[in-house]
Amino acid sequence: MHRRILDLLVDPVTQSPFRLEVIKEHGDSIEEGRLVCDLSGKTYPIIRGIPRFAEQGNYTASFGWQWNQFRGVQIDTETGGQHSRQRFDTEAGWTDADLTGKWVLDAGCGAGRFAAIAASRGARLVAVDFSSAVDAAAETLKRFDNVDLVQASIHELPFASGRFDFAYCIGVIQHTPDPHDAVRAVVSMLKPGGHFCFTIYGRRPWTKLSGKYLLRPMTKRVPKEVLLRAIEVVMPFAFPVTDVLYRLPLVRKVARFALPISNYVDRQGYTRDQRYQEAILDTFDALSPRYDAPMTPDETARALRDAAATAWTFRSRIPVVVEGIR
């Protein structure tokens, strides 16, 4: 944690500033220490350079486990591809000129796939995750001096409101216990005129009838190690079958809806083995989370109005990809 973010950090409940107690530091980076709120008496540890506002075993535990198991599977510098960069450009569309020197919030950073893109564009980036994925992200982002990581809930972000120039939240909102409140929480972090981008699973009337959602009541209760092992056992058969079915023009839509296997047959720049590993990762990602509540565009617009967003545009309605201004 760099000292520069002390002005941003506040107690997530009282909104009071912290008193910093340093145990170990290196230059201007605090490696171990405590953030003390004198008003509430609460103390939050800084462990391995990351302020921790989250207890172990929260609802994001499966995400922390998966990203520490599969950290490099979707990181462009690890895969040699450009998929994360292309997705960031398509969904957020922010350039070096937009982000250089600006305070940027990554709300739900996972292993840091999009944080690496924003950091490479000169952002003063604060990347947040509620899970232990922050430790995987620390490895991904260690080459950047313009990044700080924070472990905290999207519903109780430990920052003073109205301090960020940009905020994005890609593929996270539907996995929170209250998607409407999660949208509000992220938008509240922005300065007036600040820019946001959300990507959220979209919901149609028949979405919850898909194979994934029919299985989830069972799979989300299965111990994560057991679920991953089951996917690994099934995948040698499921991958080649879906590799064919997901390419057939008259079959692929029905097959993708019915089969809970994430196989991105159109992925460019990946080897077959890389696609296979991503299929295991994303199938686990689809079946393991405690929460998965896709939203309609109308529900998203209602959340944005309640968050006091002033303007927004849907880049896509299914999935929901929306960018706008507070």
Which domains does the chain possess?
A: 53-202+294-325 (3.40.50.150), 207-287 (no CATH)
Q: Each residue's pLDDT tens digit in the chain (326 positions)?
A: 999 999 999 999 899 999 999 999 998 899 999 999 999 999 999 999 999 999 877 899 999 999 999 999 999 999 999 999 999 999 999 999 999 999 999 999 999 999 999 999 999 999 999 999 999 999 999 999 999 999 999 999 999 999 999 999 999 999 999 999 999 999 999 999 999 999 999 999 999 999 999 999 999 999 999 999 999 999 999 999 999 999 999 999 999 999 999 999 999 889 999 999 999 999 999 999 999 999 999 999 999 999 999 999 999 999 999 999 99
pLDDT at residue 98 in the model: 97
Q: What's the pLDDT at 183?
A: 98
Tell me the β-bridge partners of 195: 166, 325
Contact assessment for residue 48 and residue 61, using Cβ atoms and an 8 Å cutoff:
no
Tell me how far apart the alpha carbons of residues 212 and 39 are, in angstroms, rounded to a whole number: 46
Which contacts of 201-208 are long-range, i.e. CB under 8 A and separated by 24 or more positions?
201/171, 201/174, 201/292, 201/294, 201/295, 201/319, 201/320, 202/294, 202/295, 202/296, 202/297, 202/316, 202/317, 202/318, 202/319, 202/320, 203/294, 203/295, 203/296, 203/299, 204/318, 207/294
Residue 291 has what pLDDT?
A: 98
Task: Enter the pTM of the model.
Answer: 0.95
Q: Which helix (H) or strand (E) holds 36?
A: strand 29-36
